[in-house]
Amino acid sequence: MQSPALAIENLGFRYPGQREDLLGITGLTLDAGEQILLAGRSGMGKSTLLHLILGLLEPDRGTVLVAGENIHALRGPRRDHFRGTHIGMIFQTFHLLHGFTAIENVMTAMAFSDIPKAEHHTRAAALLDRLAITTPDAMPERMSVGQQQRVAVARALACDPVLVLADEPTASLDPENAGGAMDLIQNACRERNAALLCVSHAPSLVDRFDRHESLADLNNAASGGA
Return residues touching other proteins (CB under 8 A): 51, 54, 56-57, 76-77, 80-85, 89, 91-93, 95, 97-100, 104, 107-113, 117-118, 120-121, 155, 159, 168, 171-172
Dihedral (CA of 76, 103, 169, 6) sign: negative
Q: Do 23 and 11 contact (CB within 8 A), yes or no?
A: yes
Whichever of 76 and 224 has its CB closer to other proteins, that residue is 76
7 or 152: CB nearest other proteins: 152
- The contacts of residue 223 (CB under 8 Å, 6+ apart) are none
Between 91 and 209, whose beta carbon lies closer to other proteins?
91
- Residue 73: helix, strand or coil by DSSP? helix
Say if residues 86 and 163 touch (Cβ distance below 8 Å).
Answer: yes
Minimum CB distance to other proteins, residue 224 (Å): 27
Q: How far is CA 193 from CA 35, 79, 86, in A?
A: 10, 23, 13
Q: How far is the CB of 223 from other proteins (least distance, A)?
A: 26
Shortest Å, Cβ 47 to other proteins: 8
Minimum CB separation of residue 111 from other proteins in Å reads 4
CB-wise, 116 or 224, nearer to other proteins? Answer: 116
Q: Which is nearer to other proteins, 107 or 162 (CB)?
A: 107
Residue partners of 82: CB distance under 8 A and separation at least 6: 55, 66, 69, 71, 74
Rg (CA), the chain: 17
